Structure 1
Amino acid sequence: MTVTPSLSTADLAHIDSSCAATDELLDRNYPGDDGSRQPVHTVYVPADRFTPTFAADWGSQGQEAINNYGGLEKLGALLGQDAELAAEVAPRVAAKLATEAIEDLRLDFEDGFGDRGDAAEDAAAVAAGKAVAAATAAGTAPPFIGIRFKCFEAATRARGVRTLDLFVSSLVDAGELPDGLVLTLPKVTTVDQVKAMDFAVTRLEEIHGLPAGRLRFEVQVETPQLILGPEGTSPVAQLAHAVPGRISGLHYGTYDYSASLEISAEYQSMEHPVADFAKEVMQLAVAGTGIRLSDGSTNIMPVGEGAEAAWALHGRLVRRSLERGYYQGWDLHAAQLPSRFSATYAFYRQGLPAAAVRLRNYVQQTPGAVMDEPATARALANFILRGLVCGAAGAEEVQALTSLDQTQLTLLAHPRLAAVISGANA
């Protein structure tokens, strides 16, 4: 007996029409990750302290601090790595500190700069633009670099906009903008502030003849009003849809957020329950939008007699964030770099063998103990790709384990890119 479809072409057309708005929403507002590199950390420094050798200087200081402690393998043991893993991680971290100690750097005009008067901040903003341009031209700037300016609350709004303007304008005057330019809007409380930022960067693009959308920005989530608004809704979930394609990341602000909820200073932490709740809301808010997430920082610095305990804490918190899907965090001191990279590299190296077997079995359709679905395969590929890009594993090592090169991993982790590349080549 032959069975034919009962629904007509007109029925299908009606269904397509009913879903048209959803199709448009998914295409515009939920494009997924674009497959570009995400830094594993962001370093904050007062804007006037930046020099072309800043990243290299921090790398040297971080290496010196850990050498004085007893070396990177000893640090690995402190962070819970067995002898074999510590021996694998240590030379990779040493190479990282020597060649790319800072992946993402923010010249700070907010808390790290303070109020020094308009003349001083004007001069510093112009100098920062020129310094970033010079470092980029010399090849000494980190892959990602930019500024954090003062927030858009009434008291500091004009100053924040002026600093943003002067910095961007001085960069444009110096030549092409850095590929990894990042602008950070702090202490956001409402969607309107983000819309105002969108207007500001749109006007700067128009004035300077920049391509539309060139000036993307990060939003710092450090006020409770952004997690739960006065109407009982979550403004942070509205941001991606209020200014589609403009926001590059959400960064959790550990101490401002905790203090706003009256958490005592002693208990303010990246792992406090209020922090976990806010970060879970952030994850839900940006899922599928392509907006990246960053955890905050710990203010316990690995210096003096408390260095060992501070390294252990920092390494544990880095690992905790990674396990919870936060692949980026803040570092505030050069001595935190060894524990950042050691904990990060151990995370990826420990997970690499099992992830590689599962991914290879999936790609080659080899029966195995785990039957992974396409979504899990994407997650496996993305995990391996992140480890490769940050330096935890080498390209030849990854290809030997997975039978995939970096391009194949990228397309598997971000399948929408295949359609984009296919369309571009058509």
Structure 2
Amino acid sequence: MRLTFGDHPVPGFAAAYAEQLRRFPGGPAAWQPVHTVYVPADRFDRGTVRSYGDAALELLDTHLPAGADPAPVFGPLPAGVRERVARKLAAEPVEDLRIDFEDGYGARPAAEEDRHAVAAAREVAAMHAAGGLPRRWGLRVRSFADGDPERSLRTLDGFLTEVTGRAGTLPAGLRITFPKVLMEDYLRQFAGWLARLEEGLRLPAGTLRFEMQVEAPQTVMMLLRSPDLAAGLDGRLAAAHFGVFDHTAACGLPPAEQRLDHPACDHAREVTRLALAGTAVELSDGSLAAAPASTSTADVHALWRAHAALVRHSLANGFYQGWDMHPAHLVSRYATVYAFHLSARDAYAERVRAFRERREVDGVLDEPATVAALAAALRRAGHALGEP
């Protein structure tokens, strides 16, 4: 039999293909920050980012001065990593800032939260005017699961109204964090309110995007039963951030096992990855809720070792962003991220060149999918290292 094709050879194909492109536009290709720094709203001001950087630099200079061997703390590092970290802390200590009105902020009287929302917006506008606002920034509002969505939306409205009024525009890079998503409809309701806020603030449609937090078994199950969740939110879902402590507590784990590398956390992250694969939704890991036990070098090194191990675990599992909660975390975050990318970059580049030139590298014949992963890793390394 010889098939004959007309103007429409496969009935229904065009519609199915268009739906595929809508639901699965591909992985994130743009710059993604290596971390998010959360700061409680009542402790945030225009100097917060610089104070974090200065505190991290002081820790670096005091406990790992230039010329010191970093291997006892971080293991063997590629040449120049310590210097890269120092330059980063001096120039851009925070890539993504989130002003927290949820767990890190705590329960407050309504009038007090209103004041802090306006005050935080005022400080953001001042940072923007001075050129000091991080490339990614935003706020975490309260959860609808608390039973008071009006409080969450009131803070968001007050904050955005004040920022745009003072800055004359909405500065680029805004992200809104939406926590404790226990019901699918909360996502749709929140997306709808963002559309209303855009209209009220006269912002272009689609400007306001948010990141959901995956921090409860109910959320993980939601992703399992609704893998097309992102496609139904009109492109507003920008990222999914894992919350280690809420999730491990909700799973009934003992306090000593509430850690980022617990198998329960690995499972939740893997479900999140599978549910959001190909949707261009960014993925971020959680945090280490610890600070140096004292100002001694031994205690600072112990914190850095613990944090670096968790960052390596995230990176090895394909989560290239995580939360940092203390200035000390900036040192171990950047040192580990830089080492991860620098240690493999040259080998990855050579394998891509070999594939294009149709030759082997050490007996390896890479498949096209692997080469695409290698190219993506090189782009990610360039973004993380601040290099083309």
Relative to the length of structure 1, the TM-score reads 0.85
Instruction: Answer whether contact 1:240 1:247 (CA < 8 A) is retained.
Output: yes
Whether 2:274 is the aligned partner of 1:284: answer: yes
Q: Which residue among 162, 183, 192 is the counterpart of 1:190?
A: 183
Whether 2:8 is the aligned partner of 1:13: answer: yes
Instruction: Answer whether contact 2:100 2:139 (CA < 8 A) is retained.
Output: yes
Identity of aligned residues (%): 41
Provide the rounded CA distance (Å) in 2 between the counterparts of 1:338 and 1:204.
Answer: 38
Q: Which residue among 60, 63, 75 is the counterpart of 1:66?
A: 60
Instruction: Answer whether contact 1:133 1:177 (CA < 8 A) is retained.
Output: no
Whether 2:94 is the aligned partner of 1:99: answer: no
Residues 220-299 of structure 1 aligned to structure 2 (within 5 Å): 220-229=213-222, 234-235=224-225, 237-299=227-289
Cross-structure match for 2:366: 372
1:377 is displaced (CA, Å) by: 2.1
Question: What per-residue deviation string (whole Å, max 9, x for no partner) do you get for residues 57-103 of structure 1?
Answer: 11110111122223366573134433xx3542111011001001110
SS of 1:237's equivalent in the other structure is coil
Q: Which residue among 37, 45, 48 is the counterpart of 2:39?
A: 45
Instruction: Answer whether contact 1:79 1:312 (CA < 8 A) is retained.
Output: yes
Question: What per-residue deviation string (whole Å, max 9, x for no partner) do you get for residues 31-70 of structure 1?
Answer: 1135221000001001122222221211110111122223
Cross-structure match for 1:348: 341
Cross-structure match for 1:302: 292
Cross-structure match for 1:170: 162
Question: What per-residue deviation string (whole Å, max 9, x for no partner) do you get for residues 208-252 of structure 1?
Answer: 2111111000000111111115xxx72563421221311110000
Cross-structure match for 2:30: 36
Cross-structure match for 1:205: 198
Question: What per-residue deviation string (whole Å, max 9, x for no partner) do you get for residues 247-272 of structure 1?
Answer: 11000000001101111111101111
Cross-structure match for 2:316: 323
SS of 1:234's equivalent in the other structure is helix
Instruction: Answer whether contact 2:44 2:99 (CA < 8 A) is retained.
Output: yes
Instruction: Answer whether contact 2:45 2:120 (CA < 8 A) is retained.
Output: no
Unaligned runs of 5+ in 2: none
Tell me the matched-pair count: 383
Cross-structure match for 1:401: none
**RMSD (Å) for aligned C-alpha atoms:** 1.9
Instruction: Answer whether contact 1:294 1:328 (CA < 8 A) is retained.
Output: yes
Unaligned runs of 5+ in 1: 396-405, 407-426
For residue 156 of structure 1, what is the amino acid of its counterpart? Answer: D
Instruction: Answer whether contact 1:75 1:339 (CA < 8 A) is retained.
Output: no
Relative to the length of structure 2, the TM-score reads 0.93
1:168 is displaced (CA, Å) by: 1.3
Cross-structure match for 1:129: 121
1:319 is displaced (CA, Å) by: 0.9
Cross-structure match for 2:148: 156
Instruction: Answer whether contact 1:125 1:163 (CA < 8 A) is retained.
Output: yes
